[in-house]
Structure 1
């Protein structure tokens, strides 16, 4: 299999953590229910490819995301090697109860930077969402769990348009104050460009939230995900969210297309000589297999190039 020529560039980290979201964020938007055995196999294959952080599922109410109704069953079905993190998304305390019962070690919560998305996704206002998050985070921390915070609509909202940077920083800073160890800054509809990425990361730094606490989560709606990722890396970010095969979108934002494909990300990082621990050949094989299960080709350009 062809590999990229390795040419290091200055100002980039030596290692990047690839935060794989395919099993949760990638599959949640699939209309046909994927069998739990297929999901478990998918997660196992991702781990075999060297991914050490795999967001497996969400304890959201089945009414809202039927694809993830099998969360508890799935967690019982997977057997990951030591050192592989398997965080799950929880929307509220009820979701946390189910996660604790399943014995998870790490959770993520999902916040909105905009009023309209908070109303549509969380049935809340931007301010009121913290009333829901505070006890969930507190109880999770008391139980010894690590808590990640997602901030959605960081760069643009399909209903409200541009999103003020200070608004995003305010939401993210409040999550860190509540105890989130990491913030994933989401370009939910894929409209960000590099200048915005720099400005937002710098604004968080001025607000006391260091780059070591930030991760990035880009969608590729306008073909900017890799450019935005490289920009974030130059700003010091070392954790990047991506989805195997480019699976996913956002069920609450119809204009959002797929996530940054993990294969496309790894090809770029491999070419830059940045260590990830991911075996690209095995990852491509995994996405080809998963695309067969779903009955549609993988969106990843690297998968298309290497497996075509």
Structure 2
């Protein structure tokens, strides 16, 4: 196989921390980001600009953005869900914003307090304003493969949501397996649907949870389908706070080991990433689900 590059977007500082019992200090979050950068990460979702009462783990988003060191080749992203969040993100100097639209009304209502249609309309306004400010925009479609409340998400439903978000003109479209229910055949099918709706030019991205131990297989299916930008989290930390059993992100180091052994190239160093997982485990005072953290690399 010819060597192909894979881009890993690091989500530990945001998705990795938002559902943890431990609340890291701003200083510890800065160190987490700096560790990810030293390991070679180029895109990092550093925080979420949401109501701090709902996500107290990320209540210091504004302070964090002021404290983070800047690097010419590293882009910081922030999750936003409304106008106030966008204003805070832009004031903080983010390089990217990630906007969430959940494909099912029930989870969207629980997560964002609005229907999917309302979230699509909100996303369109946020994309327009962010692009006017020169900021890269990603729309992530949550529950693209299944919902903890409504069950299976029919393909026509997903297709309609994708059409609405693509029409708003984001710079990138992401599919999210929010509760970790997808299997490789579904990744293949829905990646094809996303490409059909998005057209040949719009970059695609995939966000995987490892709730049912399928994330690595799903990542391989995504690569085969041509999606080479994947979300990961150091140590496998994190999960969806508003979705029952939405646990375990795909561990950065676990996927990195698989990619390295298969001849895919990334910008990351495996040993440093494993060390970062060990550091984060100590900060959170709990065991993280990373396999490489237990077994180590080979040979």
Q: TM exceeds 0.5? A: yes
The Cα of 1:276 is off from its aligned counterpart by 0.4
Among 269, 279, 284, the residue aligned to 1:294: 284
- On the 8 A contact 1:166/1:203 being kept in 2, the answer is no
- The secondary structure found in structure 1 opposite 2:294 is helix
The Cα of 1:81 is off from its aligned counterpart by 2.3
1:170 aligns with 2:160: yes
The Cα of 1:49 is off from its aligned counterpart by 0.3
Aligned residues: 297
Equivalent residue number for residue 226 of structure 1: 216
- The secondary structure found in structure 2 opposite 1:27 is coil
2:133 and 2:231 map into 1 onto residues whose CA distance is 26
- On the 8 A contact 1:212/1:236 being kept in 2, the answer is no
Equivalent residue number for residue 182 of structure 1: 172
Give runs of ≥4 in structure 1 deviating > 4 Å: none
When residues 57 and 15 of structure 1 are mapped into structure 2, their CA distance, relative to the original with a 3 A threshold, is: same
When residues 127 and 285 of structure 1 are mapped into structure 2, their CA distance, relative to the original with a 3 A threshold, is: same
Equivalent residue number for residue 251 of structure 1: 241
Among 33, 38, 43, the residue aligned to 2:23: 33
Equivalent residue number for residue 185 of structure 2: 195
Q: Kindly report which structure 2 residues correspond to 1:57-136, keeping only aligned pairs within 5 A, or say none.
A: 57-136=47-126
The Cα of 1:103 is off from its aligned counterpart by 1.6
- On the 8 A contact 1:190/1:218 being kept in 2, the answer is yes
Equivalent residue number for residue 215 of structure 1: 205
1:282 aligns with 2:272: yes
1:43 aligns with 2:33: yes
Among 18, 38, 54, the residue aligned to 2:8: 18
The Cα of 1:212 is off from its aligned counterpart by 5.5
The Cα of 1:38 is off from its aligned counterpart by 0.4
Unpaired stretches in structure 2, ≥5 consecutive residues: none
1:15 and 1:194 map into 2 onto residues whose CA distance is 20
- On the 8 A contact 1:249/1:259 being kept in 2, the answer is yes
Q: Deviations over 1:48-67 (max 9, x none)?
A: 00011111001111111111
Q: Deviations over 1:222-271 (max 9, x none)?
A: 11000011011001111000000000010000211111000011001101
The Cα of 1:183 is off from its aligned counterpart by 1.4
Among 131, 149, 156, the residue aligned to 2:139: 149
- On the 8 A contact 1:212/1:238 being kept in 2, the answer is no
TM-score by length of 1: 0.93
- The secondary structure found in structure 1 opposite 2:116 is coil
2:185 and 2:210 map into 1 onto residues whose CA distance is 16
The Cα of 1:100 is off from its aligned counterpart by 1.4
Structural RMSD (CA): 1.4
Among 123, 126, 129, the residue aligned to 1:139: 129
Q: Deviations over 1:117-163 (max 9, x none)?
A: 11111111111112322221111111111100111101111111100
